[in-house]
Structure 1
Amino acid sequence: MEKTNASFIEPVREVNLHSSKWAMQNGLKKFQLMLESFFIKKGYLLLLVGFLLGRALILAKLTPFCLPFFASVYLIKRDRAPLALIGLIIGAVTISLTNAAFTFIITILFMIVFRICKKWIINDMKWTPFIVAIVLGLGKLAEAFILSRQLTLYDLMMVGVQTSLAFILTLIFLQSIPLLTFNKRRQLLKTEEIVCLIIMLASIMTGTIGWKVYDLSIEHIMSRYLVLVFSFIAGATVGSTVGVVTGLIFSLASVSSFYHMSLLAFSGVLGGLMKEGKKIGVSIGLFIATLLIGMYGEGGGSIQLTVLETAAAIFLFLLTPQVLTSRLAKYIPGTPEYTAEQQKYMRKMRDVTAQRVSQFSSVFHALSKSFSQMEIQPKEDESDREMDYFMSNVTEKTCQTCFKKDQCWANNFNTTYAYMEEIIHEMDQNDGNVSSKLSREWEKICTRSKRVYESIGQELTFFQANQKLKKQVRESRRLVAEQLLGVSEVMDNFAKEIQRERENHHKQEEQIMEAMQSFGIHIEQVEIYSLEQGNVDIEMSLPFCDGHGECDKLIAPMLSDILGETIVVNKEECATYSNDFCHVTFRSSKAYTVETGIAHAAKDGGLVSGDSYSTIELGLGKYAIAISDGMGNGERAHYESKETLLLLQKILQSGIEEKVAIKSVNSILSLRTTDEIFSTLDLAMIDLQNASTKFLKIGSTPSFIKRGNKIIKIQASNLPIGMIQEFEVDVVSEQLKAGDLLIMMSDGVFEGPLHVENYDLWMKRKLQGLETDNPQEVADLILEEVIRSRSEIIHDDMTVTVAKIKHNTPKWASIPVQKLKRQA
Structure 2
Amino acid sequence: MKNSSDIIGLSFADRFLGRLRSYSDILSYLGVGVLSFLLSDSVLFYQIAPFGVAICAAVRGDHTFAAVLGAVLGTLAAPALPFKMKYIAAILIVGAVKWALSGKGRLQRSRVISALLSGLAIGITGMAVSFVGGVPQTYQLVLCLSEVLLAGGSTYFFARTLSVLDRQDAVPLRQSDLSCVVIAFGLLVVALCPLGVGEVSLGRIVAVLVVLTCALKAGEAGGSIGGVTAGVACALSDTAYAFMMGSFGFGGLMAGVFSSFGRFGCAAALVVVNGVATALAALVQPVTLAPVVEVFIASVIFVLLPQSLFQKLTLSASGLQTMSADSVKNIILGRLYHTKKAIGDVAVITQQVANRLQECLKPITDINAAAAERVCRSCPQRGDCWQQNFNDTSSALNDMQSRLRQGKLLTLECMPEPLRTVCRDPQELLFALTSCYNEQRRQEAQYSKSAQLRSIVLDQWGGIERLISDISSEITRIAVQDEQTCLRVREYLSRRGIRTRSLSCYEDEGGHIVIELGLFPSLSKNLDKTELTFDFGEICDRDFDLPEVSERDDLLVLTFYERPGYKLSYGVSQISASGKKLCGDSFKYLEEHGGSSYAILSDGMGNGSLAAIDSSMATALISRLAEAGVGLEATLKLVNSAMLIKSGDESLATVDICSTDLYRGSVTLYKAGAAPSYLRKGGKVGYVESSSLPAGILNSVEFEKTSLQLSAGDIIVLVSDGVTQTGEEWVLDELERFGSENMQALCERIATLAKLRRSEVHDDDITVFAMMLHEAA
TM bucket (normalised to shorter chain) is 0.3 to 0.5
State the structure with more CA Rg: 1
TM-score normalized by structure 1? 0.39
TM-score normalized by structure 2? 0.41
